[in-house]
Structure 1
Amino acid sequence: MTPGTPGSGPDHVTLRQILAYDEDGVLRLLLAPAGRDAAVLGVIVGDEGAARPHEGRIVLAAGLPPDPPSAAAAVREAARRGAAAVVLRESEGTPVPAEALTAAAECGIALLARAEWADWGDTAALLRSATAFAAAGRGGLVTDSAAGGLAELASATARQCHGSITVEDTRFRVLAHSATGPEADGLRRSTILGGRVPERRVAELRRSGLLRALWTSQDVIHRAADGDTPERLVVAVRSGGEMLGSLWAAADGRRLSPDAPQVLRRAAALAVPHLLRHRMRESGTVRREALALRGLFHGDGDRRAHLWSLGLPPDAAYAVVVAVHTPAHGPGSDRALDVLEVLATRAAVFRSTARVLREEDRIAVLLPVGGTDDPRGALDLARDLDGLAAGMPGAGPVRTGAGQTVRSGLDASLSYDTALLVVRALRDREARGRDTPAVRHAGPDGVGSTIDALRMLDAVRPVWESGAGPVHELIRADLAAGGDLVRSLAAYLETSGDVPLAARRLTLHPNTLRYRLRRARERFGIDLDDPDTRLVLTLAVRLAGVF
C-alpha cells in the first residue's frame, strides 16, 4: 500500500480516526496531501533500520537533531520508504521547520506535530489505543457499545451476563459501572459510592490470593457466593502483557448467565482501548501539569495559561517550597528516589490545592496560601518535609526552603528563586559552622543576611573572574597546592582577625596560623591591614567555596 491509500481490515486506522480519538491534543495535523482518510498500518519509533518495513506506517521522529535540514531529510526518507505519515516534535518558540513542510508537500506524505507536554511514549500509546479502538467496532458480542464509552460497555455486558458490572483500573478505582439494582450487595454499593474498592476489601483479596491470580491469569476467575456476598466473576484487562485493569461481574438478585464468562472475556477485549485512553489521559495530565509548573517556576512561556492548565486562579496568593536532597555516601546509601517519592507524596496531601513538581534532585511545591501577610503555610510545609526526611536514616540530608508569598501565581518564579536561595543559604551556613546543630529548613526571614550575601556574590562573580592581581594569584596558586593558606585566611577573616579563635577552628597552633599569614604577606604581597584588600580577599575565598 502506498502512502495515503485508504486501507481496510482490522489492523489499520485512518488519520481521521486518530485525530478524532486524540481528545487531549497529543498530535496536531500540519499537512495531509492524500487526505485525512489515509490509512496508518502501524507505528515506527525513530530509525529502526532498513529491515523494518515502513509501508503505510507512521514514523515518530524520535532522536532527530533539532535543525531544519535534519527534519526535512527525515520526512523525505520516510516517504521514500513508503511511510504514511511522520510526526515531528513541536515546542514553544520552535515550530516544525518550513523545510519539513515543503518536503512533506513534495513527497505527498502526511506531517503531524507532537505536543510539547507529551513524549514519544505518549504518542505511541495514542496510536496503539486508537488502532485498538477502531478494531473494537468491527465485530463482537457487544460491538454496538464500543463507541459508547465504558459506561455503555458495562451496561451492555450487564444485560448479557444477567448481573452487575464494575470496571476498575489497577489502583482499584471505579472507571464505570452498570446500573445498581435494589438487590445489590453492600460491598458493591460502597465501592460505587466511594469511587474505589474499600481498603479492607483490597486487603482481603490480597490475603485470599485472588489478586495474585488475577494479575497472572489470562482467563475469567470465578469466586463462589459466600454468605451475603454473591457469586462473582472477574477478568483482567490487558494490552499485550500490560495489565490495565479488571472487569467484575456480580450476581444481582439472580444467577449469572451460563455464558457470562464468554461475555466477560469479550467485554475485556473491548475495554482495552478505553483503559488505554484512561491511562494515557492520566499520563498526559501529569505531563501537562509538570510542563506548566516548570514554566511558572522558571518564568517561561505564557504564565497565565500555565495557571489555567493547573486549574488555579491567577489572582490568589502563592508561595513556593523547595526540598533538595543530597544523596548520602557509601554503598547502598543513596535513596534519592525513595526520599523524593515520599516527600512528593506528603507535599501532595499537605493541601489539596498544592501542585508538586518532581525534578532530578528536588521537589518544588506551588502552595496557595491564605494571604500575602501569612507565610506560615509555606513554613509549615517546609517544617513538615524536614521532619519527614529526618526520619529516614541513611538517606542523606534534605534541605527545605520556603520562598516569600507573592500576590499572584504569575510571580511564582520570584518565590521559587528565593526558595532555592534559602536552600543555598542553609547549605552555606552549615558548611561554615554557622548553625550548630545544622538547620535544615527555613524561610527567607530566617536566613535573610546570608541570602543577601549570596546575591551579592552572584553579582560580583563575573567581575572577580575577569580580574587579576595578587589576590587572584594567591587563590589560584594555593588551591592548586591544596588550599591550606586559603583556608587559614578564610578562618582569620571569618573571626574578624582573632588569631587564637581562628586557630582553634582550624585545629592549629596560633603560631602556625601566624606563620601562614606572614607567608601570604611575603610571597604574594597581601596587606591584611588594608580594608580594601580584606574585602577583596573575603569575596575571593567565598567565591572559591572555602567558607
Structure 2
Amino acid sequence: MMPGTTGSEPDHVTLRQILAHDEDGVLRLLLAPAGQDVTVHGVVIGDEATARPHEGRIVLAAGPAADPAAATAAVREAARRGAAAVVLREPEGAPVPAEALDAAEECGIVLLARAEWADWGDTLALLRSATAFASAGRGALVADDAGGLVALATATAHSCRGSITVEDTQFRVLAHSATGPGADGVRRSTILSGRVPDRRVAELRRSGLLRALWTSQDVIHRAADGDSPERLVVAVRSGGEMLGSLWAAADGRRLSPDAAQVLRRAAALAVPHLLRHRMRESGTLRREAHALRGLLHRNGDRRAHLWSLGLPPDAPCAVVVAVRGEAEGPGADRALEALAIQATASRSTARALREEGQVAVLLPVTDDGGDPREAMALARELDTLAAGIPDAARVRIGVGQAVRSGLEASLSYEKALLVVRALREREARGRDPQPVRHAGPGDVGPTIDALRMLDAVRPVWESGAGPVHELIRADLAAGGDLVRSLAAFLETSGDVPRAARRLVLHPNTLRYRLRRVRERFGIDLDDPDTRLVMALAVRLTQVVREDPGPSGGQS
C-alpha cells in the first residue's frame, strides 16, 4: 500500500516556520511586534510604481540600505499595503537605520535584515523554498525526514515489486529500499559508495538518458541490458525546479504493470523530503556561490573563496561559460538550469554559478597550459545538451584558458566571455558557414585579438573629430548605407565586384557610393592612414551595435 498524505495542506505558513529553515543566517530578525507566529502568505519584491496590496506577504525592500529616509519609507509603505514583514539589506558595518526600526514598531510590522554576503536572489530563493517546504504539510513521513524518505522508498519498492533508490541532482543516494543478495552490481556499488559511480553517470550521459531526465516530466523506461535489469526513472520537481530523481530497478522479477504510476506518485510524495534536503544544503550552496562569484569577479579574499569551495590553491583550472542568447521563453531558464546540473553532476569537482543569462563553471583540469582538454570536453557536452532542449534560446559556450591556480580563475573567466563574444561577432558578420556554438581561445584567437584592439581604441575614436567622424555620424542617422558599403569594400580589400555581390548591389552603385564618400566628406580611401581610420571606425560602429561592452554585457 503506497503511503499517502495525512490531511490537507495549510494555505499559509508562519514566520517562525520560515526562519527555522534559515540555518546559514541569510536573515536576521530585528523586530516582531506581534511575535514570530505571524501568518505569511508569500513573498513579493517591493515596487513603488504600483499600489497593489501585499496581503500578508514578506516584502523585499531592494532600495538603498543605509539611507534612513528610504528605509523608513519602505517600511511604512509595506505596512500600509498590508505586508506581514519587510526585509532590508544590512550592509557590512552599517546597521539598519534606527528610524526604520521605530517605523516598524509603530506600524506593527516584522522587520528583518538581509546578510551583507547574500543577495536578493539568495533571499528570495530561501524564502520560497522554506515556504514551499512548510506548506507541504507535517504528515508522519514529513516530520521525520530521514525515516520518512526511507519509508517512502520501502513502500514504493513493495508496490512496484522492485528496488528503489532516491537520489539528489548530484546523484548522491538519499534513501533506498532494502537490497537483496541478487541486486545488480550498479545498485550495490551505488549504495555502498553513497552516489552513482562516475563511469555510470558518463554512460547515462552518452545514452541520452540524462538529457531526457532533465527535460522530461514523465517516467522514463530503460530496458534490461545484459546484467543490468529493467529500470524506471522519474524526476522529482517542485514548481519546475529539479530536486532529484527516483529510480526503480527490477529485482529478480518483472516490475509491476502499474510501476510507472506508482513511481510518479512517489515522486510527488518525495517533494517535501527533497526540499528539506535542499534547504539543509542551501546555506553551503549560497556560500559556495558567493565564493565562486568572488573568484570570478575578483572580489574579496581569493584564498578564502577557494577554501569555501573545497578546492586546493595550487590546482590548475579553467572556466567554461554558457551564455543565453537574446530569445526569451520558458526554455531559456530551463536550458541554463540543465547545463548547471549537467556540469556538476558529471564532474564532482566542478563548481557552477548561475547569473543573469549565463552559467559559469569552474573546472579543475590536468592540463595547465594551452587548450584544456577537460574543459573543451565539458563545453561539447553542454552544447549537445542545450541543442537538444525544445524551445530553448540559443546558448553559446566559451572556454577560457587553463590557469595555474583557482586564484587566477578570473583570467580564465574573462577569456571565456571573450570567446562567447567572438562567437557572436563571427556569426553576426557571417564568418562561419555554420554558426559555431562552442569554442576555446585557440579557435577564435584572431577575433579575440581584434575585439581587444577595438576596445582599446574605442576611447580614442570617441574623443576624436574630423571627416570620418562626420561621415559615420551623418550616414548612421540616414540609415547607414554608406557605412555598410564601406565595410564590405574594406573587408574585400577594395575588390568592388566582390563587395557589390556581398551587398547585393550593382558594382556601379557601389562605385557611386564610394565617390560620394570622397566628394561629400573629402575622404581619400587611397591614403593608407585614412583607410586604417575608416576601417576601425566602421568596425567599431558594428561592434557597438552588436555588443555594448568588452564583457558581452555580463557583470
Q: Structure 1 length normalisation: TM-score?
A: 0.65
Which residues of 2 match residues 419-498 of structure 1 at below 5 A? 419-436=416-433, 438-498=435-495
**CA–CA distance in 1 between the matches of 2:391 and 2:277?**
38
Shift of 1:25: 2.5
The answer for the alignment partner of 2:406 in structure 1 is 409
Which residues of 2 match residues 89-100 of structure 1 at below 5 A? 89-90=89-90, 96-100=96-100
Q: Is 1:245 equivalent to 2:270 in the alignment?
A: yes
The answer for the alignment partner of 2:368 in structure 1 is 372
Question: What does the per-residue CA deviation read over 1:33-59, in whole Å, with 9 as the maximum and x for residues that have no partner?
Answer: 89xx864454664589999886xxxx6
Amino acid at match of 1:512: T
The worse-fitting range, judged by mean Cα deviation, of 12-21 and 370-379 is 12-21
Which residues of 2 match residues 87-166 of structure 1 at below 5 A? 87-90=87-90, 96-101=96-101, 103-104=103-104, 111-114=111-114, 115-116=118-119, 118-123=122-127, 125-126=129-130, 150-151=146-147
**CA–CA distance in 2 between the matches of 1:108 and 1:501?**
75
Shift of 1:370: 1.3
The answer for the alignment partner of 1:252 in structure 2 is none
Contact 1:61–1:89 (CA under 8 A) maintained in structure 2: no
Question: What does the per-residue CA deviation read over 1:313-354, in whole Å, with 9 as the maximum and x for residues that have no partner?
Answer: 33322211223344679xx9x954565455445433553212
Q: Is 1:293 equivalent to 2:318 in the alignment?
A: no
Q: Is 1:317 equivalent to 2:342 in the alignment?
A: no
Count of paired positions = 475
Contact 1:60–1:120 (CA under 8 A) maintained in structure 2: no
**CA–CA distance in 2 between the matches of 1:441 and 1:53?**
47
The answer for the alignment partner of 1:348 in structure 2 is 344
Q: Tell me the SS of whatever aligns to 2:396.
A: strand
The answer for the alignment partner of 2:4 in structure 1 is none
Shift of 1:392: 7.3
- In the alignment, structure 2 segments of 5+ residues that lack a partner are 1-9, 155-162, 210-218, 224-229, 238-250, 547-555
Q: Tell me the SS of whatever aligns to 2:88.
A: strand
**CA–CA distance in 1 between the matches of 2:81 and 2:479?**
61
The answer for the alignment partner of 1:281 in structure 2 is 280
**CA–CA distance in 2 between the matches of 1:426 and 1:395?**
18
Contact 2:331–2:389 (CA under 8 A) maintained in structure 1: no
Q: Tell me the SS of whatever aligns to 2:270.
A: strand
The answer for the alignment partner of 1:24 in structure 2 is 24
Contact 1:317–1:368 (CA under 8 A) maintained in structure 2: yes
The answer for the alignment partner of 1:250 in structure 2 is none
Contact 1:321–1:382 (CA under 8 A) maintained in structure 2: yes
**CA–CA distance in 1 between the matches of 2:434 and 2:135?**
60
Give percent identity, aligned residues only: 64
Contact 1:154–1:166 (CA under 8 A) maintained in structure 2: no
Change in CA separation of 1:415 and 1:70 when aligned onto 2, cut-off 3 Å: same
Change in CA separation of 1:237 and 1:535 when aligned onto 2, cut-off 3 Å: closer
Change in CA separation of 1:463 and 1:342 when aligned onto 2, cut-off 3 Å: same
**CA–CA distance in 2 between the matches of 1:315 and 1:31?**
46
Change in CA separation of 1:42 and 1:425 when aligned onto 2, cut-off 3 Å: closer
Shift of 1:513: 2.8
Question: What does the per-residue CA deviation read over 1:341-373, in whole Å, with 9 as the maximum and x for residues that have no partner?
Answer: 554454335532122334454432211111422
Amino acid at match of 2:476: L
**CA–CA distance in 1 between the matches of 2:76 and 2:393?**
51
The answer for the alignment partner of 2:532 in structure 1 is 535
Amino acid at match of 1:442: A
**CA–CA distance in 2 between the matches of 1:376 and 1:478?**
45
Q: Tell me the SS of whatever aligns to 2:359.
A: strand
Aligned-CA RMSD value = 5.6
**CA–CA distance in 1 between the matches of 2:30 and 2:432?**
59
Question: What does the per-residue CA deviation read over 1:252-282, in whole Å, with 9 as the maximum and x for residues that have no partner?
Answer: xxxxxxxxxxxxxxxxxxxx6x654324335
Contact 2:28–2:113 (CA under 8 A) maintained in structure 1: yes
Q: Tell me the SS of whatever aligns to 1:375.
A: coil
Question: What does the per-residue CA deviation read over 1:215-270, in whole Å, with 9 as the maximum and x for residues that have no partner?
Answer: 9xxxxxxxxxx998999xx99999xxx94518xxxxxxxxxxxxxxxxxxxxxxxx
**CA–CA distance in 1 between the matches of 2:41 and 2:516?**
71
The answer for the alignment partner of 2:64 in structure 1 is 66
The answer for the alignment partner of 2:397 in structure 1 is 400
Q: Tell me the SS of whatever aligns to 2:457.
A: helix
| Larger-gyration structure (1/2) | 1
Shift of 1:11: 12
Contact 1:317–1:408 (CA under 8 A) maintained in structure 2: yes
Change in CA separation of 1:312 and 1:29 when aligned onto 2, cut-off 3 Å: farther
**CA–CA distance in 2 between the matches of 1:44 and 1:120?**
10
Contact 1:33–1:109 (CA under 8 A) maintained in structure 2: yes
**CA–CA distance in 1 between the matches of 2:443 and 2:73?**
57
**CA–CA distance in 1 between the matches of 2:387 and 2:21?**
47
Q: Tell me the SS of whatever aligns to 2:24.
A: coil
Q: Structure 2 length normalisation: TM-score?
A: 0.64
Question: What does the per-residue CA deviation read over 1:441-467, in whole Å, with 9 as the maximum and x for residues that have no partner?
Answer: 332233333222212212222332343
The answer for the alignment partner of 2:353 in structure 1 is 357
The answer for the alignment partner of 2:243 in structure 1 is none
**CA–CA distance in 2 between the matches of 1:100 and 1:537?**
57
Shift of 1:522: 0.3
Contact 2:61–2:88 (CA under 8 A) maintained in structure 1: no
Amino acid at match of 2:127: T
**CA–CA distance in 2 between the matches of 1:394 and 1:227?**
41
Which residues of 2 match residues 328-343 of structure 1 at below 5 A? 336-337=332-333, 339-340=335-336, 343=339
